[in-house]
Chains A and B, each alone.
Chain A
Amino acid sequence: MPKKIIATASLAGCFGCHMSFLDIDERLLDLIELVEFDKSPFNDLKEFSRACDIGLIEGGCCNDENVHTLINFRQRCRVLVAVGECAIMGGLPSLRNVIPLQECLAEAYLHGPTVAGGATPNVIPHDPDLPKILDRVYPCHEIVKMDYFLPGCPPRADLIWDALVALVTGQELKWPYATFKFD
């Protein structure tokens, strides 16, 4: 059986889900027998080199770069999985969804207590090289179709392992209670 090709990305996330992935520990050696990684922070490949079987997305979309990455993943991956609360529902970054963007930016860059006063006036960062901030944080499925969702903050390593095995082998995921958590 040819190895399945996996790609991963962290959008507006904290890389905690990727860390939890690594927490499958020695099972990484079993995994490597089953899959090959394409674009992913694990191997530092920045570009897709081929069509992939499985895309794992951590984080929601908080800026336009996230959106482009997510759309790119959707185009290149047969199956796309939202991994963790941020990808599923925005997660902690979405705390700002109830505050207008202008207010958030002003607090962060102009008037907030942690903004240092200096010789030059404070500005909201804007440079063609910087991604543009979206009006709110979007869960991934509000932008592209997501095939599966793995809850948790982060999803437990055992859940990630079970899910990967299920995806690679085509078996049904049993969703054991011990690893089905939102925190």
Chain B
Amino acid sequence: MDKTIPAVIKKYNGDETRLMDILIDIQAELGYLSDATIARIAKTLNIPQVDVEQTVSFYHFFAREPRGRYTVYLNDSVVAQFHGRAAVVRAFEEAAGCAFGQVSPDGCIGLFDTACIGMSDQEPAALINDVVFTSLTPAWAREIVAGLRAGKTVAELQGDRLGDGQNAHPLVHAMVCNHIRRRGSMVFDDYQPGAALRRVVALSSSEVIAQVKAASVRGRGGAGFPTGMKWEFARKAPGDVKYIFCNADEGEPGTFKDRVILTELPQLVFEGMAIAGYAVGARQGILYIRNEYRYLRAYLEQVLSDMRANNLLGPLIVGQAGFNFEIKIQYGAGAYVCGEESALIESAEGKRGEPRDRPPFPVEKGYLQRPTVVNNVETLCSVVKVILNGPEWYNNLGTAESKGTKVLSVSGDCEWPGIYEVVWGFSVNDILKMVGARDVQAVQVGGPSGACIAPKEFNRILAYEDLATGGSLIIIGRQRDLLPEVVLNFARFFRDESCGSCVPCRALTGMAQIVLEKIIAGRGTPTDLDRLSAWSAIMKRNRCGLGQTALNPIVTTLKNFRGLYDQRIKAGDDRFEPAFDLAAAVRDYDRAVAGT
């Protein structure tokens, strides 16, 4: 420990804005971040201990206490539950000899829940010391624990299980599968690295932006902001130093498209970033990628250095004097809210991922207070194709307001979960047919922050003008008990992931969970349903998208599946509160005096 902390901090030039990297590296060496470690980091960086603590304690993957020599982070998402997570949990717990949330008595195995790790098409899945294990079974869970106890490495336990495509690349070496079920013309199509960059240097920066605008490219993260406009704002913002971020923090449960794109086509994404840099006048790009995808790090670094070697990054890109662009990779540490662009920027500055107030917008004052563009992985891919094929080609794809294609992450109760690249305008029914979904009760469109829709709406189309989506569809079969199995899981998720800054989001996510549990337990009243609806209006006044949409799982099911709520509501004498249970309330006392 003596040498690790100063060495790591020196590596990052004692720069406190690199605190995320510093903490990640130190934890990788020391296993966890003790009080003494935090005090030492604070002292070396000359910042208050509480400032180190505030960042550490914000992120799920930073450990303040030992989490075992081997730490199992088992995904706790709805889709994992659908595919037998409960049995896997039991197997892990029995084999390890501890419950989830604990470390085994011998200190060997730590078992922890984690939010969706981006493997929804191969659940149940877990991260064990940065190695991904997919399609887990109880038998395999027991085998893993026994193997680790017997001294095997995680890599040995993975064995020769390798996924398709670049997952089998020696530097990735993961059992993760791509499951690309349908390729479209924009992302998963032929790609000649560097061709777009060579095309770009024949244009002025404003001509590049004009092309992106002419193609009406809109952000693929879900909000749909016009990309060309964003670039133009940043280009016109005063300042010499500007930044391009690629947002690869996809934390929306059920979403995994960025993982597949970055596995198969990282160059396409990086090329898009360089084009953005050219258009905006930025020399530095940062790929902010979620910690769950750290298994890609050696591979992504290799791709970057290959690009440098081929003059597609670095100074003199494609030989153009003055076209300098570098890309570095910033890892997150487990916080859904960091997918929000201003929270992502805060996080990249080494701070808590708390969304900023706007204005100023990131394009004016973003990373380190400099003009900053944050684009989704898929958005950057589409820009490359617009440059190569022209705006007209792009505008011929899709609907009136939604051009190009959309990469969908499909999971849940269907035959062929995976990645589907479709032009905008497909109806939900079209997609359900394509993915082999039968007996569908509901579809969660756009993840928990989106909408849970009923069959009567399956004729709606995926498009910004109808069902806007970041691209995740979780299919919920008839056999699922929607409120406890889906809505409650999502409610818990938002409670866990709220940053805690805005009052409504911090408090109402938890309060809504309590009311929902009460309703599920058959102790809800009609007033409780009215409350939940009223609270969603209060939530709309939160600062960021997470807070504004955090009650959507409840609100959209209240709207589309009202009957499921009504049938659990106690109709009775409204003078008495059905949630109060006298027998339960005296149980502690009975226990305390038992046997005395």
Contact = CB atoms under 8 A, between A and B. Distances in A.
Contacts of B575: 74-75, 144-145
A24 interface: no
Contacts of A124: 592-593, 596
Contacts of B574: 145
A98 to B, nearest CB: 14
Contacts of A101: 588-589, 592
Contacts of B576: 71, 74, 143-145
Interface in B563-591: 574-577, 579-580, 582, 584-591
A142 interface: yes
B580 A138 contact: yes
A67 interface: yes
Interface of A is mostly: mixed
Contacts of A134: 585-586, 589
A57 B286 CA distance: 62
Nearest to A123: B596
Given A101-B592, A144-B575, A67 B582 contact: yes
A109 to B, nearest CB: 10
Contacts of B585: 64, 67, 134-136, 138
A42 B592 CA distance: 36
A141 B577 CA distance: 8
A74 B574 CA distance: 11
Contacts of A123: 596
B582 A64 contact: yes
Nearest to B586: A132
A102 B594 CA distance: 11
A168 interface: no
Interface in A82-105: 100-102, 105
Contacts of B580: 67, 138, 142-143
Contact of A135 (B577, B579, B586, B593): B586
Contacts of A167: none
Contacts of B591: 102
Interface string A108-152: 000000000000000110100000111110100111110000000
Nearest to A121: B596
Interface residues of B, number: 18
Contacts of A136: 585
Contacts of B592: 101-102, 105-106, 124
A142 B577 contact: yes
A100 B593 contact: no
Contacts, number: 57
Interface residues of A, number: 24
B590 A132 contact: yes
A135 B582 contact: no
A133 B577 CA distance: 20
B596 A135 contact: no
In this complex, which of B575, B584, B585 has the most chain A Cβ atoms within 10 angstroms of its Cβ?
B585
Contacts of B587: 135
A142 B579 contact: yes
A64 B588 CA distance: 13
A102 B580 CA distance: 20
A106 B591 CA distance: 12
Contacts of B588: 100-102, 135
Contact of A132 (B577, B579, B589): B589
A145 B577 contact: yes
A143 B578 CA distance: 8
A123 B576 CA distance: 35
Contacts of A142: 577, 579-580
A31 B579 CA distance: 37
B527 to A, nearest CB: 9
B570 to A, nearest CB: 13
Contacts of A133: 586, 589
Contacts of B579: 142
Nearest to B576: A144
Nearest to B580: A143
A143 B577 contact: yes
Contact of B596 (A64, A126, A141): A126
Nearest to B574: A145
A110 to B, nearest CB: 10
Contacts of A75: 575
Nearest to B579: A142
Contacts of A105: 589, 592
B30 to A, nearest CB: 34
Contacts of B596: 123-124, 126
Nearest to B593: A126
Contacts of A106: 592
Contacts of A143: 576-577, 580
Interface string A147-181: 00000000000000000000000000000000000
Q: Which 3 A-B pairs have CB atoms at the shortest separation, nearest pair first?
A: A126-B593, A101-B588, A132-B586
6 contacts: A101-B592, A102-B588, A124-B596, A133-B586, A142-B577, A143-B577
Given A74-B575, A102-B591, A136-B585, 5 more contacts: A64-B582, A102-B588, A123-B596, A135-B588, A135-B589
